[in-house]
Every structure is written in C-alpha cells, then in structure tokens.
A and B are shown apart, each in its own frame.
Chain A
Amino acid sequence: MSSSHQLINNRKIATHESKAVTLVLITVALFYLLLFLGIPLFAVFYEALGKGWALYWAALQDPDAWSAIELTLIAAAIAVPANLVFGVAAAWAIAKFEFRGKSVLITLIDLPFAVSPVVSGLIYVLLFGAQGWFGPWLQEHDIKLIFAVPGIVLVTIFVTFPFIARELIPLMQAQGKEEEEAAISLGASGWQTFWRVTVPNIKWGLLYGVILCNARAMGEFGAVSVVSGHIRGMTNTIPLHVEILYNEYNFVAAFSVASLLALLALVTLLAKSIVEFKVMNNGSRLPHGETE
C-alpha cells in the first residue's frame, strides 16, 4: 500500500513541475514578452496620443503623410498581386509535377529572405541607378526608376518575393495531385480544375501568405530607403516618413504616423490568428513555414 502510494506520488512529481517552478516560469516568460513586446506596443500609441488628439490628427492630415500613405498603398497593391500570381505558378509547377532541379528551385525562391534589406536595395541601384548597367540607356529614354516610384515597387516585390510561394508549396505538396487528376480524367479543362478544385483547397493558405506578404510590403524600410531618395511628398513611404519626422525631433508626429503601422501590425496578427483558427476547425492544416 505504501509503496504504490509512493509510486503515484513519484509520477506526479516527475511528469509535472512543482507549483513554484510553474509560477516562476510563467512569470519569467510573461515578463520577457512584456518587456520586449507589450511595453513597446503600448508606447507607440502612448507617444502618439499622449499630447492629445489634436496633434495626432494634425500629424495624420499633413499632405506629406497622405502622399506617403498613398505611395505605400500603391507599392503593396502592385507587389502583393504580382507575388500572388508568382506564388501560385511556382507552387503548381513544384507541387504537382516531378522534374529535375526542383530542390534547387525551392532554395532559389527563398533567396530574398537571406539577403539584407539594404543589399536588396543596393542591387537595384546597381542595375538601374545612374551608374548602373541600364543607367545610361534609361537616361537616354528619360526613364527614372531609382529615386522614383518604380524602384520602390521593384524592391518591395523583391523583399516580399517568397512569402506566398513558401506558404503554398508545402501545402500543395501535402495535398497531392489525386483530386486534380480525377477532375481532368472526368473531362474538366485545366483552368476549370484549377479554379474549382485547387483554389478551394488552398484558399486559407493563400490568404495566410497574402496577409504576411502585405504586412512586409507596407512596412519595409531598409530596402526602400536605399532606392527612394527620400523626396518628401514624392518618394516617401509611411516608414520613411516616420524616419524623417523622427530625425527632425518631431516625435509626436513620428509616433502618430508610426501608430498607423502599429495598427496594421495588430490587424495582421488578428487576421493571421483568425485564419489559423479557421484552419484548425476545418481539420485542414497550414504547413508552418512562418519562419521569416
């Protein structure tokens, strides 16, 4: 009796930590997250609104702020759909067919994640800048890519390049190709198969990739900073506008504009959690490639 009692006691001790250890671990974890995530997130809004709504609105109604918002929306509106089409095409080729060099292709698609944002901007300056490969030709034809809007769009596409592809490739690989093969053998056309069989299967993964891609597209700083030229009201995105205001010691305005981006981040996290929740409830799965 006493030995079996002791055994139960032992098991209890060894499969769970003591109350004290549990409490200490939870406290340490929450303190760490509060220090590095909670306080900074709160501070953005506090600094933006701390001097009152009037200053907050004034900062957001500044025409330069508006043109920055406009440019950020334009860049994201081009980069996200472009990378969406690419992601679907790449995932279709990689997941539904067997061909040589596939793993090399997958690694190449991930490349932009390994490149520093500053280097991402630099390579486009080397191509299209005044001293770049295509620089003289572009100047002859009076086309300006660098220190202009097209350059910002190009680097935004580059830094967000892998997001959608890397969500879709593992997802479509896991789903296999039996359903599409069945549709084709029953007489459906290629596009019919894609829209009616593939798209419904991948819609959540697709949305997940779009959410992440969009957040990065709107928030990118380093790469855009290199190609933008920082022309106020012309080639400034929201993050660059924040930098300019901050460097002018206009802190209230800087944090007011920054609070828009912080809101975007919160919306992104919420949308991401909703998709994850839906996927969990549907019993389907998202391959978690969210390592960047």
Chain B
Amino acid sequence: MAPFKAHSVLPGFNLALGFTLLYLSLLVLIPLSSLFFKTAILGWDGFWEVATGDRVLASLRVTFVASFAAAVLNAIFGLIVAWVLVRYTFPGKRIVDALVDLPFALPTAVAGITLAMLYAPNGWIGQYFAEHNIKIAYTPLGIVVALTFIGLPFVVRTVQPVLADVEVEIEEAAASLGASRWDVFRRVIFPSIYPALLTGFALAFARSIGEYGSVIFIAGNMPFISEIAPLLIVAKLEQYDYAGATAIALVMLIISFTLLLAINGLQWWSNRREIR
C-alpha cells in the first residue's frame, strides 16, 4: 500500500495539515453534520412528511423556476457582455469590466432594498411596466430580477478567459475557406466556449437556489406564489419548528451538493477540452 504522504524535504506538513483539518472539522464539518442528526431524530417518515408538504414543494418550485429563468437570462446577456469586453474596445471599458463584479461586492440586503424600490409600481423602472399592467416587485418576476442581479458575474467571468484564448488563426482559416462570420461563430467559436458557458450557467443557478437577502425584499413573500425555500426555513425557525426547518434545509443541502458535483464535472470537462 502506498504511504499516506510522499517524502519531502519541506517542513511544516503535520502542523499545516493538522491545523487545516481541525479548523475544517470544528467550523464546517461538525456544524453541517448537525443537520443530518437533527433530521435523523425526526425519522424518515417525519422528514418525508415535511419535505413533501404542499407549502414546501411550492417554495422549492418557486426557487427553481426563478433561478432557472435568471440563469438563462444571464447566459444569454452574459455571453454578449463577455464577447463585447473581449473583442471590442470602447471608452470606459475598464470601468465597465470592473463593475461586472459589483454583485459579488455589494451586500445582498442593499441589492434587495434597491431593486425593490426601483421595480415597485411607482419606482424608476417599475413605472414603465406598470403602464402596461405588469407588476414586477412583490411578484415572482421580482424574484427573477433579484436573482439575475446576483448571478450576473458568473457567466461573464467564466466565458471571458476562454473567449480570450480562442485562437484568431483558426477563425481566419475558417474565414479564408469561405465561412461566413455567423458560420465561424456557430461552428468554430461557440463550440470552444460552450463548456464555459454551461459552467457559468450552473454556477449562477446554484448561487440563486440558496439566495435569501436580495430576494426577500422584492418578492412579496406570498406563500405558494412568491415564497422561496430559504425564507420558509426562516419562517419555520421563527415558529420554533426546528425539525421542520432542518428538514427543508437538508433538502436544500442535498440539492446544493448535487449541483456542486455537477459543476466540478463540468469544469473538468471544460478544462479537458481547453487542453485539447
């Protein structure tokens, strides 16, 4: 059997790894495991009853549909933004590029109250939709707006470096063989950026599933209509229904882990294609 660790002249392995494992266990693994133990007390039947309750299923559906819609929007417009930032020059481009990361840096509560105000029926943006009898804030559409904001940087930042690496020589070769610009994009450029696009989509989607702060201000939070799953956890906690809150949290945790594995797989696939 191979030894646990390969020989090295460098010191500090035991200290560094020991500290890493201790810190990881105390702060992440033990707290996370409490979710499983608490649910175990509830029993399988109890868990199933909570997890498949009407209100829980409705909140999961709202969360999924809104996250998917927001991730699709970001995939389409994120690709255009990445393209524009990589391929064109225009005044102020560097500031625009830096601003793309705003949703990573701006606290979610600030985003939440600002978007709620802007998209309210009398808000700067909401009033134009109100004229056509479309309500955005305090409806599921508002959730999509908040999640689009939260997920905006993901597709741009995953596609940007890959698009920058696409070799112009290949495009020139395709063009000189008579391909039109659209053909070159469709047959040469798109296939090489498509794994990155999918990864960015999945990252935005995964982030949206758990999002709380930016959504609750704009959603209206009507049970069965615009109540997201994380909010339902908070609602159960406020009623001291710890078991119920834990059961929903476990469902969400399993969904998140599945997405994390899928994203790791996508990234592996994407890297492999890049190397080829």
Chain A residues close to B by CB (< 8 Å): 7, 10-11, 13-18, 22, 25-26, 28-30, 32-33, 35-41, 43-44, 47, 85-86, 89-90, 92-93, 96-100, 105, 107-112, 114-119, 122-127, 129, 131-133, 154, 157-158, 161, 177, 180-181, 184-185, 190, 193-194, 212, 215, 218-222, 225-226, 238-240, 242-243, 246, 251, 254-255, 258, 261-262, 264-266, 268-270, 272-273, 288, 290-292
Beyond known contacts A43-B114, A185-B9: 5 more, CB 8 A cutoff: A30-B84, A98-B8, A108-B24, A125-B242, A126-B38
Residue of B at shortest CB range from A30?
Answer: B96
Chain B residues close to A by CB (< 8 Å): 2, 4-6, 8-13, 15-17, 19-20, 23-24, 27-32, 34-35, 37-38, 77, 80-81, 83-85, 88, 90, 94, 96, 98-111, 113-115, 117-118, 124-125, 148-149, 152, 154, 157-158, 161, 168, 171-172, 174-176, 178-181, 183-184, 203, 206-207, 209-213, 217, 230-231, 233-234, 237, 242, 245-246, 249, 252-253, 256-257, 259-260, 264
List A contacts of B84 (CB < 8 A): 25-26, 29-30
List B contacts of A218 (CB < 8 A): 107
Q: A111-B28, A185-B9, A242-B110 are in contact. Are A25 and B83 (CB under 8 A)?
A: yes
Minimal beta-carbon separation of B22 from chain A (angstroms): 10
Minimal beta-carbon separation of B165 from chain A (angstroms): 12
Minimal beta-carbon separation of A18 from chain B (angstroms): 8
Minimal beta-carbon separation of A277 from chain B (angstroms): 9
Minimal beta-carbon separation of B160 from chain A (angstroms): 9
List A contacts of B252 (CB < 8 A): 116, 119
Give bound CA distance, A265 to B108, whole Å: 11
CB atoms of B12 and A92 under 8 A apart: yes
Q: A97-B5, A97-B8, A97-B10 are in contact. Are A110 and B260 (CB under 8 A)?
A: yes
List A contacts of B9 (CB < 8 A): 181, 184-185
Q: A36-B148, A254-B113 are in contact. Are A29 and B20 (CB under 8 A)?
A: no
Q: A215-B105, A265-B105 are in contact. Are A32 and B81 (CB under 8 A)?
A: yes
CB atoms of A25 and B88 under 8 A apart: yes
Residue of A at shortest CB range from B17?
Answer: A93
CB atoms of B106 and A25 under 8 A apart: no
List A contacts of B157 (CB < 8 A): 288, 290-291
List B contacts of A180 (CB < 8 A): 10
CB atoms of A29 and B260 under 8 A apart: no
Give bound CA distance, A268 to B198, whole Å: 28
List B contacts of A15 (CB < 8 A): 168, 171-172, 175, 181, 184
Most buried by A among B102, B124, B125, B230: B102
CB atoms of A117 and B100 under 8 A apart: no
CB atoms of B108 and A7 under 8 A apart: no
Q: A184-B10, A221-B107 are in contact. Are A115 and B256 (CB under 8 A)?
A: yes
CB atoms of B6 and A99 under 8 A apart: yes
